Amino acid sequence: QVHLHSFFLSLCLFLCDYLQQYYNLKNDPLGRIKRSGPSFTSKVKDMQIFFGLNVTGTLDSDTLEVMRSPRCGVPDVEEYSHIQGMRWNKNVITYRYILWYTRDLPRSTVDSLIESAFSVWARASSLTFVRSNTHNADIMVEFVTYAHGDLFPFDGPRGTLAHAFGPGSGVGGDTHFDDSEHWTAGEAGFNLFVVAAHEFGHALGLKHSRNPESLMYPNYKAFNPANLLSSEDVANIKALYSHLNNVLRNSWLFGSLFPRLMQDKCAADLTFDAVSTLGDATFFFRERHEGPISNFMPKIETSIDAAFWVPRRSTAYLIHESIFWTVKGSRVKGKARKLSHFGFPVWVQEVDAAVHIPKTRRTLFFVHDIYWSFFTYILKSCFFVFFFLGGCFVWVFFFLILGFIYFFVGPQVYKYDYTQKHVVGVEKANSWLGC
């Protein structure tokens, strides 16, 4: 009887801890929980609903089996989750080198698996992840055991495998793995790549899914590494970051200049050579490229002076001095052509900036202190556009979003209402890089 009593006591404690951690089960005023009470039964039903079980409110074998499955430590009930569906308000997210490594795998293997886990979300979204050695990286990753300073202690082998905090300051984004588990790169133990990819979903702001095919399903499952995300996962991450159309999937980001530029990205005097929306992304061009412009424009190996996007043609035009390239999809169409194709006179050998206005189907080309309107080839006064800047500027780079033109003038950005013809806001250029 003593052993039976101990068994039921430990089972009750396990069940209560599970419902408290994942479904916000509350103690009564005296600090007690009755396993037969209405609050307990209600939480059991919540759990059964989440996992698609028979909703009985009783602890049947199927319910106990799900509860005993190894899982993520983030709550399942949205309103009590400590991530609250937040998101990073930038496209480039940094993570710090592992503070403490597991002894189950070589450090190089851990580094590779963590990088691969971030890549899963990078491929499905507009986000880019960059390793950093600084103490203020967005996502801090480490292996710890039991109580480790964040008020969410681990519970030893199996049970809770890892947890992550949603985007934000302080512990926001931080991701912890229980080093009491047996971490592997294969099917034995717990696959670090799979668990890390799940936790980084939380670090980006995603909640748990009720769909067993989703990577964000709370209980651990062995997934096919080649097809980790479900269509639901992809749709959710795209929807969460749809507000960030200014994607930093840009030319210099993937080139050899990247390390230095990333270090200087928050410098007060940061400027760009050209900025343009190209498809669903925004590209920031700076300095000469020492290699191909990522996979977007594989045959262009030079700096870009101006760029614009024509949505109805799904075509980008990239200009360097007196020539331009036409890019559709990920391919350069044909050879580089002369600027005279747009109707410029022979003396125009370079363009400072360009923008396409879909509503009027006009493309404006700025050359020193005048601008040209393509289709009509009529030379017009620059005062019409630049009266709010107090003069004409040579180095102006901009693009159109939702009826606004964004003028990048040196280290500042002017938000210009194209319909009302006036400036409605001014901010720093590096604010577009999350600074």
- Catalytic positions, written as ranges: 199
Exposure string of 390-429, with b = 16+ CB inside 10 Å and e = fewer, is eebbeebbbbbeeebbbbbbeeebbebeeeeeeeeeeeeb
Q: Is 422 annotated as a binding residue?
A: no
CA 279 to chain CA centroid, nearest Å:
17
Q: Is 434 annotated as a binding residue?
A: no
Burial class (CB in 10 A: 0-12, 13-18, 19+), 246: buried
Q: Is 172 annotated as a binding residue?
A: yes
Closest CA to 407 of 9, 392, 259: 392
Q: Is 76 annotated as a binding residue?
A: no
User: How far apart, in whole angstroms, are the C-alpha atoms of residue 249 and residue 265?
Assistant: 15
Six token digits for residue 171: 């512990």
Q: Is 305 annotated as a binding residue?
A: yes
Six token digits for residue 101: 């490594």
HEC string of 218-266 equals: CECCCCCHHHCCCHHHHHHHHHHCCCCCCCCCCCHHHCCCHHHHHHCCC
Q: Which amino acid, residue 191?
A: N
Q: Is 16 annotated as a binding residue?
A: no
Sign of CA dihedral 90, 91, 96, 101: positive
161: helix, strand or coil: strand
Q: Is 179 annotated as a binding residue?
A: yes
User: How far apart, in whole angstroms, are the C-alpha atoms of residue 136 and residue 129?
Assistant: 14
Q: Is 181 annotated as a binding residue?
A: yes
Q: Is 279 annotated as a binding residue?
A: no
Angle between helices 107-124 and 192-203 (to 10 degrees): 50
Closest CA to 286 of 310, 265, 266: 265
Angle between helices 231-240 and 107-124 (to 10 degrees): 80
Q: Is 72 annotated as a binding residue?
A: yes
Q: Is 182 annotated as a binding residue?
A: no
Q: Is 216 annotated as a binding residue?
A: yes
Measured in degrees and rounded to the nearest 5, phi and psi for residue 162 equal -170, 165
Q: Is 273 annotated as a binding residue?
A: yes
Measured in degrees and rounded to the nearest 5, phi and psi for residue 410 equal 60, -130
User: How far apart, in whole angstroms, are the C-alpha atoms of residue 110 and residue 117?
Assistant: 11
User: How far apart, in whole angstroms, are the C-alpha atoms of residue 65 and residue 67?
Assistant: 5
Q: Is 289 annotated as a binding residue?
A: no
User: How far apart, in whole angstroms, are the C-alpha atoms of residue 276 and residue 397?
Assistant: 8
User: How far apart, in whole angstroms, are the C-alpha atoms of residue 59 and residue 44?
Assistant: 8
Q: Are 303 and 285 in contact (CB under 8 A)?
A: yes
Residues making up the binding site for Ca(2+): 104, 138, 155-156, 172, 174, 178-179, 181, 273, 305, 307, 354
Binding residues: 72, 104, 138, 148, 150, 155-156, 163, 172, 174, 176, 178-179, 181, 198, 202, 208, 216, 273, 305, 307, 354
Residue list for the binding site for Zn(2+): 72, 148, 150, 163, 176, 198, 202, 208, 216
